Amino acid sequence: MVDLQTQYQQIKADIDYGIQEVINSASFVKGKKVQQFQEHLAEWLGVKHVIAVGNGTDALQIALMALGLKPGDEVITPTFTFIATAEVAALLGYTPVVVDVDFDTFNIDPDAIRRAITPKTKAIVPVHLFGQCANMEEILRIAEEHNLFVVEDACQAIGSEYTFANGIKKQAGCMGHIGCTSFFPSKNLGCYGDGGALFTDDDALAEKIRVIANHGMVVRYHHDLVGVNSRLDSIQAAVLDAKLPHLKEYTAARQQAAHFYDNAFAGNKHILIPARDTKSTHVFHQYTLRLIPDEGISPAEYRDNIREKLAEKDIPAMVYYPVPLHLQKAYLDPRYKHGDFPNAERLADSVLSLPMHTCLDKEQLEYITQNVLQIL
Ligand SMILES: *Cc1c(COP(=O)(O)O)cnc(C)c1O
Closest ligand 1 atom, CA of 196? 7
For 139, the enclosing helix (H) or strand (E) is helix 136-146
Give tens-digit pLDDT for 283-301: 999 999 999 999 999 999 9
CA distance 298 to 158: 35
Instruction: Write the CB contacts of 278 (distance below 8 Å, at least 6 apart in sequence).
Output: none
- What is the mean pLDDT of the segment spanning 106-117? 98
Select from 137, 79, 145 the least CA-distant residue to 108.
Answer: 79
Q: How far is the CA of 26 from the centre of ligand 1 (A)?
A: 29
pLDDT, residue 355, reads: 98
pLDDT, residue 36, reads: 98
| Helix, strand or coil, per DSSP, at residue 105 | coil
Q: How far is the CA of 152 from the centre of ligand 1 (A)?
A: 12
- What is the mean pLDDT of the segment spanning 191-216? 98
Closest ligand 1 atom, CA of 183? 7
CA distance 193 to 189: 12
Closest ligand 1 atom, CA of 81? 13
Q: How far is the CA of 376 from the centre of ligand 1 (A)?
A: 32
Q: Probe ligand 1: pick from 57, 81, 83, 194, max atoms within 8 Å of CB?
A: 57
Tell me the DSSP string of 300-359.
HHHHHHHHHHHHHTT---B-S-SS-GGGSGGG--TT--TTSSHHHHHHHHHEEEEP--TT
CA distance 18 to 109: 42
Q: Probe ligand 1: pick from 98, 156, 318, max atoms within 8 Å of CB?
A: 156
Any idea what the Cα angle at residue 87 is, between residues 83 and 91, rounded to 5°?
170
CA distance 18 to 235: 8
Instruction: Write the CB contacts of 308 (distance below 8 Å, at least 6 apart in sequence).
Output: none
Partners of 291 in the beta sheet? Answer: 271
Q: How far is the CA of 155 from the centre of ligand 1 (A)?
A: 5
Nearest-CA residue for ligand 1 atom 2 is: 155
Order the strands of the 74-78 sheet from edge to edge.
49-53, 196-200, 178-182, 149-153, 121-124, 74-78, 95-99
Closest ligand 1 atom, CA of 127? 13
Nearest-CA residue for ligand 1 atom 10 is: 84
Q: Which residues line ligand 1 (CB under 6 A)?
A: 55-57, 81-82, 84, 127, 153, 155-156, 182, 184, 194, 196
Instruction: Write the CB contacts of 70 (distance below 8 Å, at least 6 apart in sequence).
Output: none
Q: How far is the CA of 53 from the centre of ligand 1 (A)?
A: 13
Give tens-digit pLDDT for 131-175: 999 999 999 999 999 999 999 999 999 999 999 999 999 999 999
Cα–Cα distances (Å) from 71 to 96, 130, 213, 360, in that order, read 11, 31, 20, 47
N residues, the chain: 376
Q: Probe ligand 1: pick from 106, 132, 184, max atoms within 8 Å of CB?
A: 184
Q: How high does pLDDT run on average in the chain?
A: 97
- pTM, two decimals, is 0.98
| Helix, strand or coil, per DSSP, at residue 163 | strand
| Residue 120 pLDDT grade (very low, low, confident, very high; cuts 50, 70, 90) | very high
- What is the mean pLDDT of the segment spanning 109-118? 98
Q: Beta-carbon neighbour count of residue 300 at 10 Å?
A: 15
- What is the mean pLDDT of the segment spanning 72-92? 98
| Residue 91 pLDDT grade (very low, low, confident, very high; cuts 50, 70, 90) | very high
Select from 126, 132, 108 the least CA-distant residue to 275.
Answer: 132
pLDDT, residue 223, reads: 96
Nearest-CA residue for ligand 1 atom 5 is: 56
Give tens-digit pLDDT for 9-23: 999 999 999 999 999
Partners of 282 in the beta sheet? Answer: 132
